[in-house]
């Protein structure tokens, strides 16, 4: 499953970079940069905003990829230190899923911005909300799993 999460995140990041790079020169100087809850455009900005989005998603991809190399003491888990080993795999899985989901979310946002700039669509609309629910749902699921596994792990003190 880890390989799937990594592949999904890398593919979404690559899609975002490729989409911006291949469409950038054909875009007008000002593009839609913000949408209301119904998907209607309510903010405009320079097309260089797309590269800012690419930078943000690339940064989070790198940061969440490196999380496994951070000292375990940096992980602020709501459990006792002696239960950390049992819960940590769930924390890593959560970080992997969130990385994949956020990369997909940014790919979707960039695609929606480009489609709106070209006049092919209005905006992200419901898809954005569904993506956020998925990210929050993943977080809640894995935090619950970490807490449960820690509660069933005997203390070693």
Domain that holds residue 26: 2-152
Domain count, the chain: 1
The answer to whether position 101 is within a domain reads: yes
Q: Are 101 and 131 in contact (CB under 8 A)?
A: yes
Query: What confidence tens digit (pLDDT) does each residue in 45-65 have?
Result: 999 999 999 999 999 999 999
Average pLDDT, the chain: 85
DSSP 8-27: HHHHHHHHHHHHHHHHGGGS
Tallying the residues shown for the chain, one arrives at: 157
Overall pTM > 0.85: no
């Amino acid at each position: 499953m880890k390989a799937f999460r990594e592949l999904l995140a890398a593919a979404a990041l690559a899609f975002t970079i490729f989409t911006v790079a291949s469409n950038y020169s054909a875009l007008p100087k000002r593009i839609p940069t913000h949408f209301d809850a119904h998907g209607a455009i309510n903010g405009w900005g320079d097309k260089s905003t797309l590269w800012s989005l690419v930078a943000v998603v690339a940064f989070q991809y790198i940061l969440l990829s490196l999380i496994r190399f951070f000292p375990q003491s940096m992980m602020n888990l709501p459990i006792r230190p002696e239960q950390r080993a049992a819960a940590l795999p769930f924390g890593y899985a959560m970080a992997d899923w969130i990385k994949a989901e956020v990369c997909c979310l940014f790919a979707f946002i960039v695609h929606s911005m480009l489609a709106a700039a070209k006049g092919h669509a209005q905006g992200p609309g419901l898809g954005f909300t569904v993506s956020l629910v998925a990210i929050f749902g993943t977080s809640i699921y894995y935090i619950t799993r970490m807490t449960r596994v820690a509660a069933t792990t005997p203390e070693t003190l």
